[in-house]
Structure 1
Amino acid sequence: MDTGDLRSRVQDHIRRLDLIPAGGEVTVLVSGGADSTCAWHVLRELGYLVSALHVNHGLRGDEADQDARFCSELMQAEIVDGRGGTTEEKLREIRYGFATDRLRATAHTASDQVETILYRLVTSGRPTGIKPRREDGVVRPLLPVWRDETETYCRVHGLEYRTDSTNRDTTRGLIRERILPLLREIHPAADDNLLRALELRPTLQPGLAELISSPVGSKRVDLGGGIQVVREYDRAWLERGPVALEGAVRWGQWTIESKLAGLKVRGWRPGDRLAGRRKKIQDVFVDAKIPRSEREAWPLVVRGREVIAVPGIIEADGVHAVRIADDSTGGGDYPNAIVGRADMRGAPDAIPEEEGRRRTHGFPGESEPKAKRNAD
């Protein structure tokens, strides 16, 4: 087995969906099984700062205590008491109730995804699956990996793992041990085809239904494929997920470049503020006379949760943005398009209105807007 290929798939999945910051901290919820042991090891190998947490539900007596000792000794896992649940739903609620102040990861695999799709298809008629990121922020970095691959990975790297003797007694165990083998007899690619059902499912209608039925206010629904639908009171729009700013990124009419590490490009979100300042991005748009209809599609350059640049309006050292005008934008419609420069070392400096007009959108008669490249 090429374990490097497995790690590459996990890393690509993490980067594509922005699950874990590069080199960031993550706590893996471990059971001691092959999946979570593999997740703990893979994330360490990929350079993340990994810790482990094991929840002992105390349901299997001495076997549960042995699992806890195993996790503590192999992964230096923090052991917490999770007694009190009797149903799968309640036990899951207890597990996810710990370490909510940290970024947590579970070791759900493609095999778990197939079992979940099949279960939900039978019980609800909808082929929905496991989300790469839960609403509470828990991430699933191993979704591109199959269960037999995690077991092989552990063997290749000499990692021992535990086997839960009660797994076969659950509904998931019934699907795994009896139903899926029968489906594979019908077609050997049954697992892959079930995953395809998830990829092809209609996502827009359920997403819109969730928006419509939710209380008035802000709401964000993941439609899959890096697209989210956002509602802010009586307005709604589609938003692309964050894109790593590695070299040049094309965002609508904008081309944004930077050699700085750790930057991303994303759309505006309600509540966004300039890094190190109290001013909201919404107010920046108002000051620059950007029409409301264009604000949702306007790119922001961010580092973590901080907005460091608003192309064409607030500049940052090391970030260069150019907007290509077309007939729909009118080129020089926004006379206050540059209102300052956001230096990561301090507050923005004011730029005169006329100079801002010349730098970004040009005076009347100039057909192509020009973005200033910082010369600092």
Structure 2
Amino acid sequence: MSTVADLVQASIARHKMVRAGAKVLVACSGGPDSTGLLHIMRELGVAVSVAHFNHRLRGDESERDQEFVRDLAASLELELSTAGADVAAEARARRMNLEDCARRMRMDFLRETARRTGALHIALGHTLDDLVETFFMKLIRGTGRTGLTSIAPVRGPVIRPLIELRKQEIVAYLEERRLKYVVDSSNADLRFLRNRIRAEMLPVLERISGRVVGRIGTAVAVLRREEALMQGLAREAFAACRQPAPTGSVALSSADLSGLHPAIVARVLRLALAELGSRADYAALEGLLDWCLARNAAPRFATPLRGAVLAERCRAVVDLRSSPRVPPHFQYDLPIPGSVLIHETSDCIETRILDAAGFPDRGAIDDNQVCYLDASRSQLGLEVRNRVDGDAYRPLGARHTRKVKKMLIDRKIHGAQKLNLPVILSAGRICWVPGLPVSEDFKVTPDTKQILEIKRLPS
């Protein structure tokens, strides 16, 4: 067995990465790290299969990488799972950072593949160099202890067997054995922060101290151990401080909070905010922390957070609850027949034309997630958009128009269900809102020749 394989085996044992006899899914991009990981895991006798996700970000090069991994898996007689997506288009549609979107889509694919193939672990090819680069990226962009330790040897099903080895050791392992790999040309693109850290920052630090990468790796390991302790203490404190509260609200004892160290209180507040679907940056969390611990603070504090939260103090209890959210804005043309995906809500709206002859109960209407309209009245300029203040139309059987907001209240449609509700219009006039009756002006009548079916498929 090679020295590199010995080091990897020691890391696997030290961090208890692989359960005895378990199957491991190796994520392989074709680059030196993941290709080296695949060969090393086979050398160690681990039962492995291979997965490759094509992000389609580099044109022919992306296709080359996929073919390389396909040939590699075939040569090693290993099971291969592949998938791909236009990540750039998906990132625009989701309004996400490209790197974050790529990571999320890749991990979703890997988790599903592991489940389908019976793999207990998902092995990623991150090295010590990747850990140090990520450490500096997080430090530059601003983060706390949690962010600085984000690349862990083991997190759930994800394992990183190469996390204690340098990239140069993996490349040397491959070249000594004349094992092929591919090179991602985007790694030389200095528009990306990670590449600038790798090409410009780390060489300067290594000239100051040749052991800087290893020492930062050790520091991160210490931080990770202390972070686990702090997280455990915070969860215990959160449970101890909690008071009974209605759904959508978190109540904490002011007296219990005041007896804790501010560092623990800050973590308790983060846990409470996360439960409410909110995230706090440093300034927002510090403002909330100061308000919670102040003796003569105002009775109410509105946080400028991602997912706004309103905090109130009443009878020695700090009550946190979600503030009313702003509905997402969207507008799409509806093809007939066809479908459209509303990226802002993940709903899908489908349309099709039906023959009215023999259609059961022409006056019937399903006012939940499917509607039937007179196609001759409703095909002009069909579109779907978000609900806006003042929306109104004449519901089926009514003599006068009614506001959509009032009808939603009457039907007890609240919260996110109301917030994300699509509105279907024809030539600028509302013909249907899912959960409500169709418009009287677009209803199916005995004279209807063709019926337009519109179906909402919620996320």
TM-score, with length taken from structure 1: 0.53
The residue number in structure 1 matching 2:123 is: 105
Instruction: Classify the secondary structure of the residue corresponding to 2:50.
Output: strand
1:177 to 165, 185, 199: 199
Q: Do the aligned residues in 2 keep the contact of 1:23 with 1:47 (CA within 8 Å)?
A: no
Determine if the alignment matches structure 1 residue 49 to structure 2 residue 47.
Answer: yes
- The C-alpha deviation readout for 1:183-222, integer Å capped at 9, x for no partner, is 1122222112211221332332244235545898xxxxxx
Which amino acid is the alignment partner of residue 17 of structure 1?
Answer: H
The residue number in structure 1 matching 2:143 is: 124
Tell me how far apart the structure 2 counterparts of residues 178 and 121 of structure 1 sit (CA, whole Å): 16
Sort the Cα spacing of 1:81 and 1:213 in 2 relative to 1 into closer, same or farther, 3 A.
farther
Instruction: Classify the secondary structure of the residue corresponding to 2:155.
Output: coil
1:82 to 80, 85, 97: 85
Q: Give the total of aligned pairs.
A: 213
The Cα shift of 1:128 comes to 2.0
Return the index of the structure with the highest Cα Rg: 2
**RMSD, aligned α-carbons:** 2.1
Tell me how far apart the structure 1 counterparts of residues 125 and 230 of structure 2 sit (CA, whole Å): 29
Which amino acid is the alignment partner of residue 102 of structure 2?
Answer: L
Tell me how far apart the structure 2 counterparts of residues 205 and 193 of structure 1 sit (CA, whole Å): 23
- The C-alpha deviation readout for 1:108-156, integer Å capped at 9, x for no partner, is 1111111112222332153424111223x11111112110011111111
Which amino acid is the alignment partner of residue 97 of structure 1?
Answer: D
2:103 to 92, 95, 99: 92
1:209 to 234, 245, 252: 234
Tell me how far apart the structure 2 counterparts of residues 74 and 25 of structure 1 sit (CA, whole Å): 19
Sort the Cα spacing of 1:210 and 1:128 in 2 relative to 1 into closer, same or farther, 3 A.
farther
Tell me how far apart the structure 2 counterparts of residues 15 and 144 of structure 1 sit (CA, whole Å): 12
Which amino acid is the alignment partner of residue 120 of structure 1?
Answer: K
Q: Do the aligned residues in 2 keep the contact of 1:10 with 1:142 (CA within 8 Å)?
A: yes
Instruction: Could you tell me which runs of 5 or more consecutive residues in structure 2 were left unpaired when the two chains were aligned.
Output: 75-79, 92-97, 243-459
Structure 1 window deviating more from structure 2 (125-134 vs 178-187): it is 125-134
Which amino acid is the alignment partner of residue 133 of structure 2?
Answer: E
Sort the Cα spacing of 1:61 and 1:212 in 2 relative to 1 into closer, same or farther, 3 A.
farther
Determine if the alignment matches structure 1 residue 148 to structure 2 residue 151.
Answer: no
Instruction: Classify the secondary structure of the residue corresponding to 2:159.
Output: coil
Identical positions, percent: 35
- The C-alpha deviation readout for 1:276-325, integer Å capped at 9, x for no partner, is xxxxxxxxxxxxxxxxxxxxxxxxxxxxxxxxxxxxxxxxxxxxxxxxxx
Q: Do the aligned residues in 1 keep the contact of 2:25 with 2:114 (CA within 8 Å)?
A: no
The residue number in structure 2 matching 1:195 is: 217
Higher helix share: 2
Instruction: Could you tell me which runs of 5 or more consecutive residues in structure 1 were left unpaired when the two chains were aligned.
Output: 217-376
Tell me how far apart the structure 1 counterparts of residues 219 and 14 of structure 2 sit (CA, whole Å): 21
- The C-alpha deviation readout for 1:33-68, integer Å capped at 9, x for no partner, is 000000000000111111111100111111100000
- The C-alpha deviation readout for 1:3-33, integer Å capped at 9, x for no partner, is 7121111112112222112343111000000
Tell me how far apart the structure 1 counterparts of residues 72 and 239 of structure 2 sit (CA, whole Å): 45
Tell me how far apart the structure 2 counterparts of residues 212 and 172 of structure 1 sit (CA, whole Å): 37
Tell me how far apart the structure 2 counterparts of residues 152 and 214 of structure 1 sit (CA, whole Å): 50
TM-score, with length taken from structure 2: 0.44
Within a 5 Å distance, the mapping from 1:128-277 to structure 2 comes to 128-135=149-156, 137-169=157-189, 170-201=192-223, 202-203=226-227, 204-210=229-235, 212-213=237-238
